[in-house]
Structure formats: structure tokens, C-alpha cells
Amino acid sequence: MATAEKNLSNYDKDSIPNASNMRFGIVVSEWNDTITNGLLEGAIAALKENEAKEENIIVKYMPGSFELALGAQYLLEHLKIDGVIALGSVIQGETKHFDFVCHGVTQGVMDVSLKYNKPVIFGVLTDNTMQQAIDRSGGKHGNKGIECAIACIKMIAAKEEITKPMKKVGF
């Protein structure tokens, strides 16, 4: 296994853009809240560590992971934010429900991101067991919430860099 005994959430703070002028939305699933609360704590801590202001972090809870895409869309439609982090946890059960939820939330998050031309970061754990989810929400493999926050900062900065007007040179 590629993640065996590795904390995947470590990053070089010096390589992350300053987030002091960025506004973030975070949608969090209430389902499996022991896991999603850990993801949320990691995301907020990483945003603040990279200079995001507390008043520029808007958190909204959704009933489950399937509802995260619509929650992200609500935030993008009605609030002035630069990106959204979608945090959830779906744990394999005995039925195909897992497959349908995972597919739906994945497609939905991507669709909302493309529709609004803003990053909507997929922070939904899709694990086989509760232990795997624990390990990825603040356990031995780190915290995917941290990784999602860093990805959101980087994507907002990338968009700003790519879309700023270019200076004409020597023409």
C-alpha cells in the first residue's frame, strides 16, 4: 500500500501562497461526523496557518456527502468566495449505496467547480473501514482536510496568476 505508515499531509509552508486575501467556503457532511469534524479542524488550521482570516472562512453543514455539491453551489451562488472545500466521509457497507454516493458526489463536485470556474476541492474520504477513515482524518496518514485546504489555496492562486492581464513586453 502506497500510504502505509506515511503522513501524507506534510507540506512546505514556504511553498504555499499567502491566503490573507482569499475567501473560502467549507461544506461539511454531518454524516460520520467524528471523521468530518476532524477533516474540518485540519482544513481550518491549514487555512489559518497560511494567513487566511477567520472571517473569510465560511462553514456550512450538509446532511450527508451526497449533498456537498449542492451545498458548494449554494455558497458559490450567494456568497463572494474564491473556492470551496467539500468534506465528507463515505464508508463501504454491505450494499451498492457506497458506489452510488461516491460516484454522485465526485461528479457533482467536479460539475460545480467547472460551472462556476472556481475550485471546489474534493475532500470526501471513500474508505473501506472506519479505521481507514480515522487514519486519514487526523490519524497516522495525516489529515485530508489539511491537504484539501492547501489545494484550495494553490488553485485560487493559480487562477489569479493565470487570469491576471499580461504586460506587453517590447511590442
34 pLDDT more than 70? yes
CB atoms within 10 A of CB 153: 26
| Residue of 78, 97, 103, 141 with catalytic role | 97
- State the maximum Cα–Cα separation within the chain, in Å, rounded to a whole number: 65
171 pLDDT more than 70? no
Which residue did the predictor score with more confidence, 97 or 143?
143
CB atoms within 10 A of CB 143: 25
The dihedral of CA 25, 31, 36, 40: what is its sign? positive
**For residue range 40-93, what is the model confidence (pLDDT) as tens digits?**
999 999 999 999 999 999 999 999 999 999 999 999 999 999 999 999 999 998
Residue 59 three-state SS: strand
As given in the structure block, the three cell numbers for residue 29 are: 457532511
The reported pLDDT for the residue numbered 137 is: 94
**For residue range 117-166, what is the model confidence (pLDDT) as tens digits?**
999 999 999 999 999 999 999 999 999 999 999 999 999 999 999 998 77
Q: Are 59 and 123 contacting, i.e. CB atoms less than 8 angstroms apart?
A: no
The reported pLDDT for the residue numbered 1 is: 46
Active site residue 78: no
At the topology level, CATH places domain 26-162 in Rossmann fold (3.40.50)
What is the mean predicted confidence (pLDDT) over 92-103?
Answer: 88
